[in-house]
Structure 1
Amino acid sequence: MAPNLQPSILFIACFGIFTSVVLAKTDSQDVSALNDAYKSMNSPSKLNGWSSSGGDPCGDSWDGITCKGSSVTEIKVSGRGLSGSLGYQLGNLKSLTYLDVSKNNLNGNLPYQLPESLVYLDGSENDFNGNVPYSVSLMNDLSYLNLGRNNLNGELSDMFQKLPKLETIDLSSNQLTGKLPQSFANLTGLKTVHLQDNQFKGSINSLRDLPQIDDVNVANNQFTGWIPNELKNIGNLETGGNKWSNSKAPSPPPGTRHIDRDSSGGGGGSSKALITGIIVAVATIGGLIFFAGLIALLCRRRNTHHSSHFFDEEKPTEETKGKPLFTPQSSQMLQFDSMDDFRGQKTVDSNTSVETRPSVKRTSSVSFKNTPTFHLIPSSPVVATPDRFASPDSPDTHGVKVFALADLQNSAAGFSPSRLIGEGTIGRVYKAKYQDGRKFAVKEIDSSLLGKGNPEEFSHIVSNISSIHHPNMAELVGYCSEQGRNLLVYEYFTSGSLNRFLHQSDDFSKPLTWNTRIRIALGTAQAIEYLHDVCSPPLVHKNVKSSNILLDNELTPHLSDYGMANFHHRTSQNLGVGYNAPECTDPSAYTLKSDVYSFGVVMLELLTGRMPYDSDRPKGEQSLVRWAKPQLKDMETLEAMADPALCGLYSPESVSAFADIVSICVMSEPGLRPPVSNVVEALKKLV
């Protein structure tokens, strides 16, 4: 029997070896990401086993790499004397939960895209600059974040809404500025926060109601106001080197949650709890009485008449009276199995202008508990803050501020040419900078576009615009209407426009990696979707172009110039050359699908880096759509079309899928273009 067993034993042994090799083989995407990181770190010899191309990190046990199956789960390379940067592909490590590159000499920006699966992220004690990556906001399981002792700068974006497991955040010893994001208040699991040795300003009130916080260091910043009483009894508190007020702190606002951090037992604790309960009860009753009076006052004001209806709130209808405020439910994801399915989804176009103030309607992608009568922010719940809502004595019911013309003139250097940052058919835009550091973009509407003898027209426009809120919209801050001048005051974005990044300087195009470009396209599409599918009646934008897509410090897009559609009806043209859909020779023919066409042109700009129309190019290449459209289905020509600034650093499959979406958006026949909601769902699959 022995001779008969030998082949079987040999087969089993070979099969076992073959199986172990297959199981040890690292996922190709993970290998590519580590190859890129190794090259970006100047191929350090200290990382044993690492390679700039190919290899098997899991099977060959690369230094500092831990795997589970064929996926890389941990990278621990602290204190190895590494230099260079981390590359651009770390976001492709889909199973990575632990990343520690601390105590090295790494520099440059942290990658914009980091793995969303991270639980532990330590990049401390390096020379990283730029800001905290936007992708941190997507790390729902993150518990430890340490980027201290680097050269990070700029303001923190509001990225902490959905990080309930975060226990430690250390951003100390950087050059971060601005106020603490309000979303810090959402970090209910936070125990340790170290922000010392930066240039933060404003208050630290967003930390006061965190139930588990026990270690706070905010020393050596520019914080003002008062140290919240809720923080004074925690285990470790460092607050020196700030500009705290010496006057008596004001009483906390009604409804503020008090956290009793006294852990001592016995009757003393019970008495304390009882007293606290009584105080809270009295405060609650007082608050109810206050708000009842406030509501009565508002109702009485609604029945009075103002010189302008700009300050009137929308009157409730009979069928909506008495209905409570509501929260939008999560949108239903639409699935497309093929581009034919994607093309086949259609909605009814609307040619409605903004003469009617928008409200919110039901759509296939957004569902609501009640039929809404107020404007919503679908992406996040509305949080009422003193800065957000006007006082009962203020006529401004939408939360925007009234600016004095003299103050705007002073802050914008008398609207001199040196402060001019943009000019179009509607008016000019100036940069306004106040002494306290606030910056705004001030848009002056050409008075010839407003009806003579009708001062309420501007008020009505401001009322419409101020009711529109979305994370990817440029927020209206306020307005000014004095001495015949009508100005709109917006957020100011220091990174400028997408047009500037793509076309006005080679240096600006470098940060726009392929993943960042997809994210910009998705954010812009979501803003357009909000106008088309959430507002009722649907709002056409009529001016979708790269110069109206503004980028913040995290390169998150914010669509501007919305709510101006009726002005574009009055002007001879509504968009720059190259953005107009074929049907828009007459501005009145503009529909929702015309917005989709213009957005398709923006996507072409992101893909190719070219302008929509360039008279300096050969005649056959001057019109971007005409030149690109025949080539969008050919992979070989796509690679040649891709923006040279990308340096080939993209997935061919992703570029091909992106091009498919573009080709449908720029169809000559409006009925063949998809609704923007379908574009959003298709782009989500590429992020």
Structure 2
Amino acid sequence: FLLCKRYCSVSLTYELTYSDVSNNHLSDKLPNSFANLTNLNTLHLQNNQFTGSINVLTDLPLNDLNVENNEFTGWIPNELKGIDNLKTGGNSWSTGPAPPPPPGVQHRRRPATEEKKSEGPKKSLQNGLIIAFSCLGGLALLLLLLLMFAFTRRRRSPPPSSLFLDDDKMSGRKGFTPLHSQELGAESYVGILKEPKDFKSMDPGNGDIKSLLKSPSMGLRRSVSGRVSFSENEFANRLKGRRSTSVQAVPYSLADLQKSTDNFAPGRLLGEGTIGRVYRAKYPDGKVLAVKKIDSSHFQGQKPEEFSKLVTNISKLHHPNIAELVGYCSEQGHNMLIHDYFRNGSLHEFLHLSDDFSKPLTWNTRVRIALGVSRAIEYLHDVCSPSIVHKNIKSSNILLDLELNPHLSDYGMASFHLRTSQNLGMGYNAPECAQPSAYTLKSDVYSFGVVMLELLTGRMPLDNQRPRSEQCLVKWARPQLHDNDALAGMVDPALRGLYPPKSLPPFADIVALCIQLDPNLRSSIAEVVQALVRLVQQSTINMREDLSASCRTNDSEY
């Protein structure tokens, strides 16, 4: 196949005006030589495994840029946000305002002649990549592919798929795409289900098709090397490096927040918890923020420095799956924390407050959410030093962005929960939480297990509308988690049977080890992350095998 799918009269690299290298399984950072493409108008990099930032593209005259479904990190440069056709989804961008450029750095285009001067008999992988953009095939393409495959450590990624079950696609034959193997990277996500018309039915009762998933031995009680579940501490090192250079939370004035929330009007109220209320703040420029107004009773008898210490500690925390702090306010006895506003609301709303017009989350989207939240908890437990106990993990504290990526909120607030006599989360609390002082990291794991049960069943942790024996989700589900026949009856009816049936037992095994009554028998969150990653890996392999077999069957019919 050709690396460049379309070509626009290119004679020299710096004259390139159109480049499309999508769906080629390319990895590594974008080379600095990109800055030489001073005539480039269209650049398509989607569905690869590129890493690092996209700052090198800042000065290019682009009007069409697609970097979806890669592993880019950092901030989207402001200079690129004005591009008419900009697509950036499926990456792990940092939230909050972007840091200013280093002193003395100005955005400028490098002279095209510099590219010529950089040529030589020994070219790096990065220069090889740029040269390949101007080639239609031949020896240069073969050399490039050999180099790319030699240096890549990640698996190939299939195209992305839809997030919801869509009634418009329910007619005809149904099937599943592989889970997006890109999720196996440190800061990326699992792909999700779609129902293409050209796949054969994958009805669980169809004996002619291999099982979608092989249920591996999860080995959850196996000892973990080190404290993190990613290879060579890659994820932890990235996060620590990012933490040291991140922008701190921005102070907001009380008058500014009063104006943007209509003086904290009831119509702007997003929710209320044990700590305080959350309001939606809207600004004239279209910016929308979520303002958590902490109840003043929590600071009675406390020094003003206590809130400053809280802000300082929370503002140091940065992870793709947490709702990061972007600002704060402390004036006239009012203490507020400010976060980005997530338009898709919370996981609780998606699972339990949907109406007849809502589309349910697909099974693979639910797996992706579980993995993302587990990684956020692992960051708090194993990467942060000292470890941070969340103490309020529940579906209403899991916020979903426009691509349904999960962001854990309400972290760093455990000290407030110690001072409240209220039950922190009906149905989410581990048995030992009857004594607040007994709350540990394993108590967080229990709460996460309840969230996984919500994803599996679509049920609320406590539901007085159900029969008495089914009102408590954990008590109802626990005896059935190791019964493969019963599992099918536990699955959320909203999925309408559209899930790989062999994925249920390993998912249920993870849940069972999270909700053990004895904290010492529960898995650590690092073990949970490893188990979910192994589940996705095995799912991807088996789904690809089934799809390959299905394609061979289709070929034999013609």
Question: Residues 283-316 of structure 1, C-alpha deviation per residue, up to 9 Å, x if partnerless?
Answer: xxxxxxxxxxxxxxxxxxxxxxxxxxxxxxxxxx
Q: Of 439, 442, 450, which residue of structure 2 is paired with 1:601?
A: 450
Q: Which residue in 1 is equivalent to 2:217?
A: 338
Q: Of 623, 628, 634, which residue of structure 1 is paired with 2:472?
A: 623
Q: Which residue in 2 is equivalent to 1:474?
A: 323
| CA-CA distance at 1:552 after TM superposition | 0.3
Q: Which residue in 1 is equivalent to 2:242?
A: 382
| Equivalent residues of 1:568, 1:574 under 8 A apart | no
> In structure 2, do the counterparts of structure 1 residues 509 and 257 end up closer, same or farther at CA, with 3 Å as the change threshold?
same
| CA-CA distance at 1:543 after TM superposition | 0.3
| Equivalent residues of 2:216, 2:535 under 8 A apart | no
Q: Which residue in 2 is equivalent to 1:141?
A: 26
Q: Secondary structure at the match of 1:516?
A: helix
Aligned amino acid, residue 659 of structure 1: A
| CA-CA distance at 1:403 after TM superposition | 0.2
| Equivalent residues of 1:502, 1:508 under 8 A apart | no
Larger proportion of helix: 2
Q: Secondary structure at the match of 2:297?
A: helix
Aligned amino acid, residue 26 of structure 2: D
Deviates more, 1:668-677 or 1:573-582: 573-582
Alignment of structure 1 residues 176-187 onto 2, 5 Å: 183-185=53-55
| CA-CA distance at 1:538 after TM superposition | 1.0
In the alignment, structure 1 residue 261 sits paired with structure 2 residue 111: yes
Q: Of 544, 559, 570, which residue of structure 1 is paired with 2:419?
A: 570
> In structure 2, do the counterparts of structure 1 residues 580 and 551 end up closer, same or farther at CA, with 3 Å as the change threshold?
same
In the alignment, structure 1 residue 400 sits paired with structure 2 residue 249: yes
| CA-CA distance at 1:452 after TM superposition | 1.7
| Equivalent residues of 2:392, 2:424 under 8 A apart | yes
Q: Which residue in 2 is equivalent to 1:276?
A: none
Aligned amino acid, residue 479 of structure 2: P
Alignment of structure 1 residues 516-595 onto 2, 5 Å: 516-595=365-444
Question: Residues 528-573 of structure 1, C-alpha deviation per residue, up to 9 Å, x if partnerless?
Answer: 0001001111111000000000000110000000000011111113
> In structure 2, do the counterparts of structure 1 residues 677 and 612 end up closer, same or farther at CA, with 3 Å as the change threshold?
same
Q: Which residue in 2 is equivalent to 1:199?
A: none
| Equivalent residues of 1:428, 1:445 under 8 A apart | yes
TM-score normalised to structure 2 length: 0.62
Give the RMSD, CA atoms, in angstroms: 4.2
Q: Secondary structure at the match of 1:415?
A: coil
Distance 1:513 1:369 in 2: 31
| Equivalent residues of 2:63, 2:85 under 8 A apart | no
Q: Secondary structure at the match of 1:441?
A: strand
In the alignment, structure 1 residue 205 sits paired with structure 2 residue 79: yes
| Equivalent residues of 1:540, 1:565 under 8 A apart | yes
Distance 1:675 1:537 in 2: 16
Q: Which residue in 1 is equivalent to 2:227?
A: 363
| Equivalent residues of 2:239, 2:318 under 8 A apart | no
> In structure 2, do the counterparts of structure 1 residues 550 and 186 end up closer, same or farther at CA, with 3 Å as the change threshold?
farther
| CA-CA distance at 1:653 after TM superposition | 1.4
Distance 1:367 1:551 in 2: 27
In the alignment, structure 1 residue 194 sits paired with structure 2 residue 79: no
Q: Secondary structure at the match of 2:270?
A: strand
Q: Of 470, 479, 487, which residue of structure 1 is paired with 2:336?
A: 487
Distance 1:468 1:252 in 2: 22
Alignment of structure 1 residues 490-505 onto 2, 5 Å: 490-505=339-354
Q: Secondary structure at the match of 1:382?
A: helix
Distance 1:469 1:501 in 2: 25
Q: Which residue in 1 is equivalent to 2:173?
A: none
Aligned amino acid, residue 531 of structure 2: A
Distance 2:437 2:102 in 1: 53
Question: Residues 654-687 of structure 1, C-alpha deviation per residue, up to 9 Å, x if partnerless?
Answer: 1221111001111111001010001001111233
Distance 1:493 1:648 in 2: 29
Q: Of 458, 473, 494, which residue of structure 2 is paired with 1:645?
A: 494
| CA-CA distance at 1:219 after TM superposition | 5.8
Alignment of structure 1 residues 104-183 onto 2, 5 Å: 120=22, 140-141=25-26, 169=43, 183=53
Any gaps of 5 or more consecutive residues in structure 1? 1-72, 75-96, 101-117, 122-138, 143-160, 172-181, 197-201, 208-216, 222-249, 268-328, 348-361, 390-398
> In structure 2, do the counterparts of structure 1 residues 512 and 551 end up closer, same or farther at CA, with 3 Å as the change threshold?
same
Question: Residues 235-275 of structure 1, C-alpha deviation per residue, up to 9 Å, x if partnerless?
Answer: xxxxxxxxxxxxxxx999524475433439999xxxxxxxx
> In structure 2, do the counterparts of structure 1 residues 338 and 186 end up closer, same or farther at CA, with 3 Å as the change threshold?
farther
| CA-CA distance at 1:345 after TM superposition | 3.7
| Equivalent residues of 2:227, 2:526 under 8 A apart | no
Distance 1:140 1:384 in 2: 31
| Equivalent residues of 1:502, 1:509 under 8 A apart | no
| Equivalent residues of 1:430, 1:443 under 8 A apart | yes
Distance 1:605 1:489 in 2: 28
In the alignment, structure 1 residue 412 sits paired with structure 2 residue 272: no
Aligned amino acid, residue 304 of structure 2: P
> In structure 2, do the counterparts of structure 1 residues 579 and 384 end up closer, same or farther at CA, with 3 Å as the change threshold?
closer
| Equivalent residues of 1:345, 1:675 under 8 A apart | no
Distance 2:223 2:115 in 1: 64
> In structure 2, do the counterparts of structure 1 residues 505 and 577 end up closer, same or farther at CA, with 3 Å as the change threshold?
same
Distance 2:303 2:512 in 1: 44
| CA-CA distance at 1:445 after TM superposition | 0.9
> In structure 2, do the counterparts of structure 1 residues 491 and 453 end up closer, same or farther at CA, with 3 Å as the change threshold?
same
Question: Residues 455-482 of structure 1, C-alpha deviation per residue, up to 9 Å, x if partnerless?
Answer: 1111111111111111111010111011
Distance 1:469 1:671 in 2: 29
| Equivalent residues of 1:500, 1:508 under 8 A apart | no
Distance 2:273 2:220 in 1: 35
Q: Secondary structure at the match of 1:543?
A: coil
Aligned amino acid, residue 499 of structure 2: Y
| Larger CA Rg, structure 1 vs 2 | 1
Aligned amino acid, residue 378 of structure 1: R
Q: Secondary structure at the match of 1:685?
A: helix
| Equivalent residues of 1:496, 1:551 under 8 A apart | yes
Q: Of 280, 287, 291, which residue of structure 2 is paired with 1:431?
A: 280
| Equivalent residues of 2:21, 2:44 under 8 A apart | no
> In structure 2, do the counterparts of structure 1 residues 475 and 219 end up closer, same or farther at CA, with 3 Å as the change threshold?
closer
| CA-CA distance at 1:451 after TM superposition | 3.8
| Equivalent residues of 2:243, 2:318 under 8 A apart | no
| Equivalent residues of 2:347, 2:395 under 8 A apart | yes
Distance 2:338 2:61 in 1: 39
Any gaps of 5 or more consecutive residues in structure 2? 7-19, 35-39, 46-51, 67-75, 87-99, 118-184, 188-214, 537-558
| Equivalent residues of 2:254, 2:331 under 8 A apart | yes
Distance 2:373 2:311 in 1: 22
Q: Secondary structure at the match of 1:343?
A: coil
Distance 1:498 1:251 in 2: 36
Q: Which residue in 1 is equivalent to 2:127?
A: none
| CA-CA distance at 1:446 after TM superposition | 0.9
| CA-CA distance at 1:203 after TM superposition | 7.2
Distance 1:615 1:543 in 2: 22
Distance 2:361 2:186 in 1: 30
Distance 2:102 2:237 in 1: 27
Relative contact order: is structure 1 or structure 2 higher (C-alpha 8 Å, sep ≥ 6)? Answer: 2
Aligned amino acid, residue 374 of structure 2: A
| Equivalent residues of 2:289, 2:339 under 8 A apart | yes
Distance 1:507 1:98 in 2: 45
Alignment of structure 1 residues 224-235 onto 2, 5 Å: none
| CA-CA distance at 1:642 after TM superposition | 0.5
Aligned amino acid, residue 338 of structure 1: S
